A = this chain, B = another copy of it.
Amino acid sequence: MSHHHTAPKLASRIAETSARHSLFEEEIRKLPVPVCSVFLGETGSIRPTAFTETDAVLQSKDHERTAEVFPLTVGKNRNVVLVATPPQTAEKVTGKRVAVLFSGGPAAGGHNVLAGLKAVLGKHNTLLGIKKGPKGLLNGDLFEITCRQTETIVNTGGFDFLGTDRTKIKTPEQFEKVKQAVLKNKLDGLIIIGGDDSNTNGAFIAEYLEREGIKCSVIGIPKTIDGDLAVGKYLPISFGFDTASKIFSELVGNLTQDAASAVKYWHFVKLMGRTASKITLEVALQTKPAVALISEEVAEKNMSLDDIVNYVVDTITDRRLRGINHGVVLVPEGLVEFIPEMRTLIQELNKVLAEYEADIKDLPTLKNKQDFIYPRLSPQSAQLMASLPEEIEEMLILDRDEHGNVKVSQIETEKLLIDKIRYRVSEIKRHPEKFFGKGQGKFEATPEQIEKIKSLSLSTQSHFLGYEGRCGKPTPFDAAFTFNLGLTAGSLVLAGKTGYMAVVTDFDRGGRALALPLSGLITGELRKGKPEEVIEKSLVELSSPSFKVFAENREKWAHEDLFSSPGPIQHWGPTSKQIPISVALDQGYADYKNFKLGEERKIEFE
């Protein structure tokens, strides 16, 4: 019954060898990008801005120490926030050479930072790409980015045009290599596109080059899907967060609908996002699932693992009594580290494993190792560890990172929860008398209700959403945001500024380009017992409007199926201009439906 005409033309079009040429990729390259008005000259073309000091001074809680660590930078910038302003002279800066690199995990919009840089530098300055991240800088792996190449990558996802890596520049030898690369390539500017650690690195490089008397602007760009690099009203969010959280929201929205269609599954979804639960909060606001756990709340309320398990099981049984035998539970990637008792266990384990490294390595079986470790933990931690599923315990003991520590991010939290939740449900079914009736901690239920719980069969599915979200095609918001970040960073270099992070804010009113002094964002933090300079991570604040809206509504969402499916990211049509709900709430915007970042321009590179 088959019917096989060959269609040679179509077949050969599919076979075409040039990469990244799906219909979609061809079309998004043609899409215009909004440009903040400050970057548009009188003729309507893109031009670099000047920068003016504002009244705002950034003062981290550790600013005195920071001023000692970055004496030259702070001496010069006084931690004052700058704002982009129209240039005062028509004279063009020319002949500058600017290099750019990606650092850390990919995030959507990176290529548009490059496009913005290329557009603002124009044909009389040179943009160089550094291959494979900071390591490429150390190895001097630079090349000139052409207009043709920029046309190919504009509006596309990924960091694949340059590649990225996670090398940290720390040693004197590494700093020396940076200097050599700057001198050899005659760089006037170095743009670091990265997260909190990479921007901290940028601050150190800026100070170092200043000290060495080398005039090269070092500018950071706030990238991370996790959303933990954010600075109040100055930087509502880092780029990539919108795309990643929308991809996850699409998939979680589909799963909420799948649960309600098949009427039998509980989907447990772990969401990437490292320490902060910002992605989970945004996805919860977008999709309204039965349960969303927020790490920061768990820590604040000092919840134990059992508290969390009981909270989820209460929701499961409550829904069961309402005739709903399905749902979705969102689990932030960093949860385990925020459960105080788990944190204690991990700290104790790290200590024991470091102290007795040789002994433990020598013991042949897992059982031997357990027998050795248990007596060396506190009774509370030993009891907690013994209550964990075998695979998790094995992982805690055997899998170590390069510093010998437990690989917390590798813990399959969603599976740990499922395991303990299933156990708890089976306990309730076997011993209903312990859970129902009168008395403390029990709840009243009719005999029919108890029968309903006893006949509960819990079907679970676990999911981890992460890598799929890092390399999505930038949403129209991320595409616009990053292009304007590129324009800001390029303008900063041409204005001779160094040690700043280029940011854009006021997403609802045309966009405002600012420069935040990196030294003003840095604070001291104990890392492995030693104070270290870091940019403070922006976590979910329980007092924020976004958390409050979630907290005030979650009970309703738990009791009934009130989920929303926000659908796939749209690049055309009436829903394509959304920004994250949590950002709109926390910034006090009137809506999240339409960002405004200036007039749309078809971007051309000449």
**A residues apposed to B, CB below 8 Å:** 1-7, 9-11, 14-15, 17-25, 27-28, 58, 102, 105-106, 132, 156-160, 163-165, 231-234, 247, 250-251, 253-255, 257-258, 260-263, 265, 267, 285-286, 288, 461, 463, 467-473, 541, 543-545, 548-549, 552-553, 556, 560-576, 578, 581, 584-593
Which residues of chain B are near A564, meaning CB under 8 Å? 19-22, 25
Q: Does the CB pair A24–B586 fall under 8 Å?
A: no
Q: Which residues of B contact A233 (CB under 8 A)?
A: 1, 3
Also in contact, A574 and B27, with CB within 8 A (given A164-B261, A285-B14, A589-B10): yes
Which of A158, A561, A585 has the most chain B CB atoms inside 10 A of its CB?
A: A158
Contact B106 A19 (CB under 8 A): no
Given contacts A25-B567, A575-B23, whether A10 and B262 have CB atoms under 8 Å apart is: no
CB-nearest residue of chain B to A60: B1
Tell me which of B23, B157, B472, B563 contacts A578 (CB under 8 A): B23
By the criterion CB–CB under 8 Å, are A591 and B10 in contact? yes
Q: Are B584 and A19 in contact (CB under 8 A)?
A: no
Q: Contact at B568–A473, with CB atoms within 8 Å?
A: yes
Q: Complex Cα distance A578/B24, Å?
A: 10
Distance between A135 CB and nearest chain B CB, rounded to angstroms? 10
Q: Give the docked Cα–Cα distance between A584 and B23 (Å).
A: 15
> Which residue of chain B has the shortest Cβ distance to A569 in the bound complex?
B568
User: Lowest 10 CB-CB distances: which A-B pairs, in order?
Assistant: A572-B573, A5-B588, A24-B567, A158-B257, A568-B568, A1-B232, A159-B261, A160-B260, A3-B233, A258-B471
Apart from A5-B588, A19-B561, A22-B286, what are 8 other A-B pairs with CB-CB below 8 Å?
A2-B544, A15-B549, A22-B253, A25-B565, A106-B258, A257-B471, A261-B470, A572-B574
Residue in A19, A285, A553, A566 whose Cβ sees the most chain B Cβ within 10 Å? A19
- Which of A28, A247, A258, A470 gathers most chain B CB within 10 Å? A258
Question: In the complex the two chains form, what is the Cα distance from A7 to B470 in whole Å?
Answer: 30
Q: Is the CB of B563 within 8 A of A20?
A: yes
Q: Name the distance in Å between A414's Cβ and chain B's nearest Cβ.
A: 13
B28–A567 touching, CB < 8 Å: yes
Contacts of A591 on B, CB cut-off 8 Å?
10
When the two chains form the complex, which single residue of B14, B288, B573, B587 contacts A581, counting CB atoms closer than 8 Å?
B14
**Cross-chain contact B157 with A568 (CB below 8 angstroms):** no
A553 to chain B: which residues have CB within 8 Å?
A: 14-15
Min Cβ gap A165→B in Å is 7
Beyond A24-B566, A164-B261, A574-B572, whether A10 also contacts B468 by CB under 8 A is no
Chain B residues near A105 (CB-CB < 8 A): 262
- Whether A160 and B261, one on each chain, are in contact in the complex, defined by CB atoms closer than 8 angstroms, is yes
Q: Are A7 and B159 in contact (CB under 8 A)?
A: no
Cβ–Cβ contact A163 & B574, under 8 A? no
Residue pairs across A and B with Cβ atoms less than 8 A apart, 30 shown, are A1-B58, A1-B232, A3-B586, A4-B543, A5-B588, A6-B545, A7-B585, A10-B591, A14-B585, A17-B562, A19-B560, A20-B563, A22-B253, A22-B564, A106-B262, A132-B263, A158-B258, A159-B262, A160-B561, A163-B262, A165-B263, A251-B468, A254-B470, A254-B472, A261-B471, A463-B468, A472-B568, A568-B569, A570-B572, A572-B576
Residues of B within 8 A of A565 (CB): 20, 22, 24-25, 156-158, 471, 473
In the complex, the chain B residue whose C-beta lies closest to that of A160 is B260
Nearest residue, chain B, Cβ from A165: B263
Complexed CA–CA distance, A276 and B563 (Å): 32
Least Cβ–Cβ distance between A373 and chain B, in angstroms: 23
| Complex Cα–Cα for A258 and B286 (A) | 25
Nearest neighbor of A587 in chain B, beta-carbon distance:
B3
Cβ A254 vs Cβ B469 within 8 A: yes
Within the complex, the shortest CB–CB distance from A471 to chain B, in Å, comes to: 4
A158 to B473, CA, bound (A): 25
Q: A552-B15, A568-B568 are in contact. Are A4 and B472 (CB under 8 A)?
A: no
Q: Of the candidates B164, B467, B549, B569, which one forms a contact with A267 in the assembled complex, judged by CB atoms under 8 Å apart? A: B467
Minimum Cβ distance to chain B for residue A603 (Å): 18
The closest CB in chain B to the CB of A106 belongs to B261
Assembly CA distance A571 to B591 (angstroms): 23
Partner of A584, one of B7, B164, B561, B589: B7
Residues on B with beta carbons closer than 8 Å to the beta carbon of A571: 567-568, 570, 573
Give complex CA distance A564, B23 in Å: 9
Report yes or no: B158 in contact with A260, Cβ–Cβ below 8 A.
yes
Judge whether B3 and A232 touch: CB under 8 Å: yes
